[in-house]
Amino acid sequence: MPDLEEFQVVFTRKDPEDPLSPDHLQVRVATNGKRESITQKIVEACLQTVEMRPEVLFVPKNDIYDPDKGFKSKRIVDLRNKVEK
């Protein structure tokens, strides 16, 4: 999407205390474009590819990637608790 400056996909659990709780998908976006159309495009893309409806959050670009803290941005973040076997 050309209007995106930065993005980050974050996986968590709906209930962080329950390792068997359903997954929660959050897409963090930095943009100067129209938020409504960008939200719609992100939701449609996620539903088609991973069959999950994301929560779309608009954040400042430095909240996703700060060049003073590292060379690469972390695009995928998995904060889900692991299930012990």
Interval 40-69 mean pLDDT: 93
Please answer whether residues 32 and 2 qualify as being in contact, where contact means their C-beta atoms are separated by less than 8 angstroms.
no
- 52 found inside a domain: yes
Give the per-residue pLDDT at 83.
Answer: 63
- 54 found inside a domain: yes
Domain that holds residue 55: 4-78
- 68 found inside a domain: yes
**What's the domain count of the chain?**
1
- 84 found inside a domain: no
CATH classification of the domain holding 32: 3.30.300.30
- 61 found inside a domain: yes
pTM of the model: 0.85
The fraction of the chain above a pLDDT of 70, given in percent, is 96
- 83 found inside a domain: no
Give the model confidence (pLDDT) of 11-31 as tens digits: 999 998 888 889 999 999 999
